[in-house]
């Protein structure tokens, strides 16, 4: 597979691994993201500011006062040629989600109707989907999480909502997401997590990272309220949701 | 009582900004930071601060700030219109830009409308005593983070100062206005120039574009001739699989008008980007006013990279060349001190 280098001015370039969305291509993106991170830590690559992974490409930003495109591109080529790390450490993250409250899941009935399922089957399909975080963007902490079970694929709502509450769990196309802030949104709301995807009081304010494996766990309203209180108070044990593999 | 600057009256878009919050774009965190890094760097240097210190970025109209500290050294850089200093028992007098000033308790700095640029900077000696968020004080107001409570300033806010007082000494001024450059804005083709037809690319580099009223920290929308995409917009010609957005990226959505993405830009986006403004011209872009016109001219990556050290050297020369802002009939305390010190060493 050939790699394309795209110019993004004199402070960045994008390494494009393909023009489609696939786990293989995204795997290479994440591997280069990790490889450049390791090379920076080892002092092997100089002047890189950060790398921004997306579904099919990695943007590398750099300080033109410290390095140049002509210096960096061959170094990135070497990292790719050397063979990218394949056994990336990934986190397995479990997100508790309350589906059975009409306030939290205003679109569940419609999704069920349009996918010819019972609401419980929609929930079961969402719980069974092998999700993976592909990219964060649009707003801090907003993750595009692919892997939705195919029977739930729907286009976005024709009328986006002006206000989607924080922590809403939504689906559209082949993805699911969790809104980190109250914001406008056009996805179908099928539940809500008591977790905050962005909390500036935490040492790591953004909970999800690109590359995370993710699964939802169904909770009832009572558990939701209990966890919500702990999250609000800042006493919730976030590490209980994460397994490193 | 803690030392600070009290916002007596808020301006329109006053936010604290430093050189940006880098390292977290992978988490969807925009870098934010100063729209005009040169203006912020000059203000910081005049106030005696390191370049990465956060200053107050002022957009369109600045605030009225009451000094609630024994003394504070400030430097205002950017606006052509003079600010005013007044009180507590003195008549208002102009406070010149591009130099430092020592203000005393009870005085009020009225920045007012800024003219000649959309952006100005106020630096205070020692900086503001606020906690950085993810390594930076830059305000990103869409997520309510950084700066002062994650938002633009409001009347009643007390901006805490790191230094409760500063020693008297010479004030310094910029010897001459910094030359931001003129002529067309330099751009580098890409990352998605092939999403535009040959005619579309030609329009982009030949036409004149006007800054619209829709210009803010996130991006500047331009008005002018539309840029043709290579493929029909109805068939996805203006859609890409989202990729990273560099500072100065020029995205062209289906309507065909360019939007230059600035400090508060999203980290990733799904519109094709015809070109990217060279970093040397970003500060100029950050100062543009609605109604001003620009042209774009292509340069190579290597050419753009070569322009930066030159601009940086000019900035450092401007800082090294600060002159003493001498009051009429006053003496140059610093020079007197330095010369005496040198004499002492020589003759010992």
pLDDT 10s digits, B167-194: 998 899 999 999 999 999 999 999 999 9
- For chain B, give the percent of residues with pLDDT over 70: 93
> Closest by alpha carbon to B137, among B40, B10, B69?
B40
A160, exposed or middle or buried, with CB in 10 Å at 0-12, 13-18, 19+? Answer: exposed
| % residues pLDDT > 90 (chain A) | 82
Q: Confirm or reject contact between A10 and chain B (CB < 8 A).
A: yes
Could you tell me which CATH class the domain A91-244 is placed in?
Answer: mainly beta
Chain A residue nearest residue B265, CA to CA: A138
Report residue B108 as tokens: 């009020």
Mean pLDDT of B83-91: 87
Confidence of residue B336 (pLDDT cuts 50, 70, 90): low
Residue A94 has pLDDT above 90, yes or no: yes
pLDDT at B246: 98
pLDDT at residue B331 in the model: 55
> Mean pLDDT over all residues of chain B?
92
Size of interface A-B (CB pairs under 8 A): 153
φ, ψ dihedrals at B228, nearest 5°? -75, 135
B25–A52 C-beta distance less than 8 A: yes
Give yes or no for residue B337 having a pLDDT over 70. no
B346 pLDDT more than 60: no
Task: For residue A185, give the H/E element and its range.
Answer: strand A183-185
pLDDT band at B210 (very low <50, low <70, confident <90, very high): very high
Parse chain A into domains and list their residue ranges: 4-81, 91-244
Q: What pLDDT, on the 0 to 100 scale, is given for residue B348?
A: 30
Instruction: Look at the block and give the residue holding tokens 């079961």.
Output: A124
Average pLDDT over residues B252-264: 95
Any idea what the Cα angle at residue B216 is, between residues B249 and B183, rounded to 5°? 60
A216-240: average pLDDT: 96
* Contact between chains at A49 and B22 (C-beta distance less than 8 A): yes
Cross-chain Cβ contact A138/B266 below 8 Å: yes
Look at residue B335 and tell me whether its pLDDT is greater than 50: yes
Q: Which residues of A touch B241 (CB under 8 A)?
A: 19-21, 54-57
Interface check for B192 against chain A (CB to CB < 8 A): the answer is: yes
Residues in chain A with CB shorter than 8 Å from the CB of B302 are 68-70
Closest by Cα among A7, A32, A30, A4 to A17: A4
The answer for A 140-159 residues in CB contact with B (under 8 A) is 140-143
Q: Are B103 and B124 in contact, with CB atoms under 8 Å apart?
A: no
Partners of A143 on chain B (C-beta within 8 Å) are 28
According to CATH, what is the number of the domain B185-299? Answer: 2.40.100.10
Query: If you average pLDDT over residues B312-333, what whole number do you get?
Result: 82
Question: What average pLDDT does this structure show over A156-182?
Answer: 92
Which residues of chain A form beta strands (DSSP E)?
A: 4-7, 12-16, 48-53, 57-62, 91-97, 131-136, 143-146, 161-164, 168-172, 175-178, 183-185, 188-192, 213-218, 242-244
Give the distance from residue A118's alpha carbon to the nearest chain B alpha carbon, in angstroms.
Answer: 33
Q: Which pLDDT belongs to residue B63?
A: 96
User: Rounded to the nearest 10 degrees, how much is the dihedral formed by the CA atoms of B213, B214, B215, B217?
Assistant: 140
3-state secondary structure of A16: strand
For residues B229 and A30, give the distance between their C-alpha atoms in angstroms, rounded to a whole number.
Answer: 31
Chain B within 8 Å of A172 (Cβ-Cβ)? no
Using one digit for the tens of pLDDT, what is the confidence trace for A55-71? 999 999 999 999 999 99
Query: How far is B219 from B59, CA to CA, in rounded Å?
Result: 14
Q: pLDDT class for B18, splitting at 50, 70, 90?
A: very high
Per-window interface: A 93-122 vs B, CB < 8 A: none
Q: How confident is the model at residue A87 (pLDDT cuts 50, 70, 90)?
A: low
Average pLDDT of the segment spanning B57-77: 96
Which two three-digit tokens encode residue B268? 């990733």
Q: What is d(CA B147, CA A5) in angstroms, rounded to the nearest whole number?
A: 36
B154-162 average pLDDT score: 98
- In chain B, what residues touch A55 (CB-CB under 8 Å)? 241-242
Structure confidence at residue B81 (pLDDT): 79
Which positions in chain B touch A51 (Cβ < 8 Å)?
26
Determine the longest span between alpha carbons in chain B, in angstroms. 83
Q: With cut-offs at 50, 70 and 90, classify the pLDDT of residue B80.
A: confident
A79 closest CA partner among A48, A43, A36, A40: A36
Q: Which of A4, A10, A208 to mutate to test the interface with B (most CBs of B within 10 A)?
A: A10
- CB–CB of A181 and B190 under 8 A? no
Class level of CATH domain A4-81: alpha beta
Residues of B in contact with A140 (CB under 8 A): 24, 27-30, 140, 143, 145
Distance from CA of A119 to the nearest CA of B (A): 32
CA atoms of B225 and B100, how far apart (whole Å) = 44
Residues B261-276: what's their mean pLDDT?
95
Query: Which of B26, B134, B279 is the closest to A50 by Cβ?
Result: B26
Q: Where are the domains of chain B?
A: 4-172, 185-299, 320-347
- Size of chain B in residues: 348
> Most A CBs within 10 Å: which of B260, B268, B269, B296, as the mutation test of the A interface?
B268
Query: Model confidence at A138, in pLDDT bands (50, 70, 90)?
Result: confident
Count, in order, helices (H) and strands (E) of chain A.
Answer: 5, 14
């Amino acid at each position: 597979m050939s790699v394309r280098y795209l110019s993004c001015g004199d402070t960045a370039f994008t390494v494009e691994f393909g023009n489609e969305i696939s786990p293989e291509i995204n795997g290479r993106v994440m591997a280069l993201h990790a490889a450049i991170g390791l090379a920076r830590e080892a002092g092997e690559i100089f002047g890189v500011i950060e790398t921004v992974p997306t579904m099919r490409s990695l943007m590398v930003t750099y300080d033109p006062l410290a390095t140049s495109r002509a210096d960096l591109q061959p170094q990135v080529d070497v990292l790719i040629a050397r063979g990218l790390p394949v056994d990336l450490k990934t986190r397995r993250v479990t997100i508790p989600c309350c589906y059975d409250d009409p306030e939290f899941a205003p679109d569940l009935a419609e999704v069920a109707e349009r996918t010819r399922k019972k609401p419980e089957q929609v929930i079961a399909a969402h719980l069974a989907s092998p999700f993976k975080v592909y990219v964060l963007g649009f707003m801090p902490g907003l993750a595009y999480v692919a892997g939705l079970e195919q029977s739930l694929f729907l286009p976005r709502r024709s009328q986006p909502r002006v206000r989607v509450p924080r922590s809403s769990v939504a689906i559209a196309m082949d993805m699911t997401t969790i809104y980190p802030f109250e914001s406008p949104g056009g996805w179908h709301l099928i539940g809500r997590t008591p977790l905050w995807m962005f909390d500036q009081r935490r040492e790591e304010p953004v909970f999800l990272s690109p590359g995370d494996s993710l699964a939802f766990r169904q909770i009832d309203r009572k558990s939701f309220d209990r966890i919500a209180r702990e999250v609000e108070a800042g006493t919730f044990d976030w590490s209980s949701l994460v397994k490193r593999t | 009582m803690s030392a600070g600057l009290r916002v007596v009256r808020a301006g329109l878009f006053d936010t604290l900004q430093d050189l940006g919050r880098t390292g977290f774009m992978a988490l969807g965190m925009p870098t934010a930071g100063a729209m005009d890094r040169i203006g912020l760097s000059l203000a910081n240097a005049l106030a005696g601060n390191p370049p990465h210190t956060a200053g107050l970025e002022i957009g369109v109209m600045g605030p009225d700030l009451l000094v609630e500290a024994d003394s504070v050294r400030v430097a205002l850089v950017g606006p052509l219109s003079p600010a005013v200093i007044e009180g507590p028992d003195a008549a208002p007098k102009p406070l010149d830009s591009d130099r430092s000033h020592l203000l005393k308790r009870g005085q009020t700095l009225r920045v007012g409308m800024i003219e000649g640029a959309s952006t100005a900077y106020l630096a205070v000696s020692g900086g503001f005593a606020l906690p950085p968020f993810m390594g930076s004080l830059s305000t990103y107001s869409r997520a309510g983070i950084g700066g002062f409570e994650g938002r633009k300033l409001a009347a009643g806010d007390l901006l805490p100062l790191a230094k409760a007082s500063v020693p008297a000494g010479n004030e310094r001024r910029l010897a001459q206005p910094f030359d931001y450059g003129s002529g067309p804005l330099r751009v580098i083709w890409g990352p998605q120039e092939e999403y535009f037809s040959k005619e579309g690319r030609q329009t982009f580099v030949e036409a004149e574009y006007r800054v619209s009223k829709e210009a803010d920290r996130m991006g500047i929308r331009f008005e002018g001739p539309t840029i043709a995409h290579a493929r029909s917009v109805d068939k996805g010609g203006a859609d890409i699989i989202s990729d990273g957005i560099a500072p100065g990226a020029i995205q062209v959505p289906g309507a065909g008008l360019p939007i230059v993405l600035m400090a508060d830009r999203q980290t990733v986006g799904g519109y094709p980007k015809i070109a990217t403004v060279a970093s040397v011209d970003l500060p100029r872009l950050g100062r543009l006013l609605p109604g001003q016109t620009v042209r774009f001219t292509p340069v190579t990556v290597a050419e753009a990279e070569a322009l930066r050290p030159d601009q940086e050297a000019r900035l450092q020369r401007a800082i090294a060349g600060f002159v003493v802002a001498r009051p009429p009939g006053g003496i140059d305390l610093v020079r007197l001190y330095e010369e005496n010190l040198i004499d002492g060493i020589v003759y010992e």
